[in-house]
């Protein structure tokens, strides 16, 4: 058999994917599994978006689209940035991808050379370091401890930047911790970046609308407009409008970078589903009341999860500002033995035992660059979340 590419050895399947796959295997065997792994909104796509996609198909809008996105969607994205963040972008500063993930990959592929470094505050979505490694660059991790609310500190970012640094990645609110930086906190980071003019800034704002308790989302391009010529802002419709399966993300930033990203996309997938783009435009321009209803439900689910998990012996769960995850510390459960006799020496072993014995699927924190933690998705329906947290608590109580 011919050899596979050596780059495959540099990346691994995401833990959220492997845990979800194992949960599905158990379900296929008839096991009642509660899956709290994926960031999958537990709501339906807004009806106007579905109708817009359907009507686009009926109108025959089923041909190859422009690689950078159809004009109607790009105009809706332009309005969205103006409305939500006070940001002004030309249409040639916007690109549409197959989800925000492709936009991130396009940006890294268009800028990274072997040996370059990407500064990534952790815990972080594991796609950032995996993509970096796939492109022969090196992730440089900046620890964001729980005693600082899992938020990056300006001084720690300053210490991580070297002459090889090409990007700083900011995910706000953060996956997996739900932590969100205020405008003042971003301003302190911006002050560091002014001393490093060769570093690009990626602001991944996919969860921008999912913030709680009156918290106001902030984004780097608005906080520090003088850095706009090297700031890429990424968002999409997946989380805000429960449209994960439509696969529509978008990015806005400097024209030269956007052109490079479009070139990269042209080599990989070309344009994005036309009906999906029509649906996304309708979601962005349509009634926004449903977003507020979802946010209210997510806040209630966060509160339920934090209360139930903090009541479980051995767990310590921080209350996040946004997103739909909680990231409890499981240090109090390590060095224990599970009911079935498994030794629990790490968050990964905790997650494996929890799935096999209590039939709850979560993701170990090691896959997000921070141990000993677990990520629990609160995007599931409330009854499912409550049952999952009940099983987690019962599992912890039975450790010996």
124 domain-assigned? yes
21 pLDDT above the threshold of 80: yes
Domain final residue pick, 285, 306, 326:
285
250 and 124 fall within a common domain: yes
115 and 24 fall within a common domain: no
39 pLDDT above the threshold of 90: no
94 and 242 fall within a common domain: yes
CATH number, domain at 130?
3.40.640.10
Position 9 scores a pLDDT of 85
DSSP string, 320-387: -SBTTEE--B-GGGTTEE-TTS-EE-SHHHHHHHIIIII-EE-EEGGGGT-TTBEEEE--S-HHHHHH
In this prediction, residue 107 has a pLDDT band, given cuts at 50, 70 and 90, of very high
348 and 300 fall within a common domain: yes
251 and 105 fall within a common domain: yes
Structure tokens that stand for 290 in this block = 């449903």
154 and 281 fall within a common domain: yes
87 and 139 fall within a common domain: yes
Q: Spell out a b/e string for 335-356, using b for 16 or more CB atoms within 10 Å of the CB, else e.
A: ebebeeebebebbbbbbbbbbe
Position 163 scores a pLDDT of 98
Q: How many residues does the chain have?
A: 400
Position 265 scores a pLDDT of 97
Domain tally for the chain?
2
The region that residue 286 occupies, defined by phi over 0 for left and psi between -120 and 50 for alpha, beta otherwise, is beta
Position 17 scores a pLDDT of 76
240 pLDDT above the threshold of 90: yes
263 domain-assigned? yes
14 pLDDT above the threshold of 90: no
Q: Is 80 exposed, middle or buried (0-12, 13-18, 19+ CB in 10 A)?
A: buried
240 and 346 fall within a common domain: no
226 and 318 fall within a common domain: no
Q: Are 309 and 23 in contact (CB under 8 A)?
A: no
90 domain-assigned? yes
253 and 312 fall within a common domain: no
In this prediction, residue 173 has a pLDDT band, given cuts at 50, 70 and 90, of very high
Q: What is the pLDDT of residues 47-89, one digit of tens each?
A: 999 999 999 999 999 999 999 999 999 999 999 999 999 999 9
151 domain-assigned? yes
281 and 341 fall within a common domain: no
- Give the integer Cα–Cα distance in Å for 61 and 55: 9
63 and 174 fall within a common domain: yes
Shortest CA distance to 206 belongs to which of 248, 165, 168, 254? 248
- Give the integer Cα–Cα distance in Å for 316 and 66: 49
CATH number, domain at 344?
3.90.1150.10
1 domain-assigned? no
104 domain-assigned? yes
264 domain-assigned? yes
Structure tokens that stand for 227 in this block = 């850095």
Q: Which domain holds residue 268?
A: 47-285
Percent of the chain with pLDDT over 90: 93
93 domain-assigned? yes
For the chain, give the mean pLDDT. 96
Mean pLDDT for the stretch of residues 6-19? 80
Domain final residue pick, 251, 285, 319:
285
Mean pLDDT for the stretch of residues 390-396? 98
Domain final residue pick, 285, 317, 336:
285
- Give the integer Cα–Cα distance in Å for 29 and 9: 32
> Any idea which residue has 């579905």 for tokens?
50
Position 241 scores a pLDDT of 98
Mean pLDDT for the stretch of residues 297-315? 98
Q: What is the pLDDT of residues 114-124, one digit of tens each?
A: 999 999 999 99
Structure tokens that stand for 391 in this block = 């099983």
């Amino acid at each position: 058999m011919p050899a596979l590419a050596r780059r495959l050895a540099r990346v691994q399947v995401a833990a959220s994917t492997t845990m979800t796959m194992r949960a599905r295997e158990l379900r296929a065997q008839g096991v009642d599994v509660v899956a709290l792994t994926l960031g999958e909104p537990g709501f339906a796509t807004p009806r106007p978006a579905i109708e817009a996609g359907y009507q686009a198909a009926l109108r025959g809008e089923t041909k190859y689209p422009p690689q950078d996105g159809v004009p109607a969607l790009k105009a809706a994205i332009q309005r969205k940035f103006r409305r939500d963040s006070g940001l002004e972008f030309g249409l040639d500063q916007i690109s549409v991808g197959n989800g925000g993930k492709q936009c991130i990959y396009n940006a890294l592929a268009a800028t990274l050379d072997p040996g370059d470094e990407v500064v990534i505050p952790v815990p972080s979505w594991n796609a950032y370091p995996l993509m970096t490694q796939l492109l022969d660059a090196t992730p440089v991790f900046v620890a964001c401890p729980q005693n600082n609310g899992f938020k990056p500190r300006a001084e720690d970012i300053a210490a991580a930047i070297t002459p090889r640094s090409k990007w700083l990645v900011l995910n706000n609110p953060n996956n997996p911790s739900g932590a969100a930086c205020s405008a003042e906190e971003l301003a302190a980071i911006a002050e560091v970046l002014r001393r490093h003019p060769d570093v690009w800034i990626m602001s991944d704002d996919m969860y921008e609308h999912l913030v709680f308790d009156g918290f106001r989302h902030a984004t780097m391009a608005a906080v520090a407009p003088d850095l706009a010529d090297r700031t890429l802002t990424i968002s999409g419709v997946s989380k805000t409008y429960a449209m994960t399966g439509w696969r529509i993300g978008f990015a806005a930033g400097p024209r030269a970078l956007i052109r490079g990203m479009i070139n990269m996309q042209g080599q990989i997938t070309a344009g994005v589903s036309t009906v999906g783009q029509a649906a996304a435009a309708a979601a962005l321009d349509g009634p926004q009341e449903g977003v507020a209803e979802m946010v209210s439900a997510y806040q209630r689910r966060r509160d339920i999860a934090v209360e139930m998990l903090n009541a479980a012996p051995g767990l310590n769960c921080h209350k996040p500002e946004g997103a739909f995850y909680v990231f409890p510390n499981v240090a109090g459960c390590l060095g224990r033995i599970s009911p079935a006799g498994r030794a629990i020496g790490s968050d990964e072993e905790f997650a494996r035992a929890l799935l096999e014995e209590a039939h709850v699927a979560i993701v170990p924190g090691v896959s997000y660059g921070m141990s000993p933690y677990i990520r629990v998705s609160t995007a599931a329906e409330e009854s499912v979340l409550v049952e999952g947290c009940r099983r987690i608590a019962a599992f912890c109580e039975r450790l010996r």
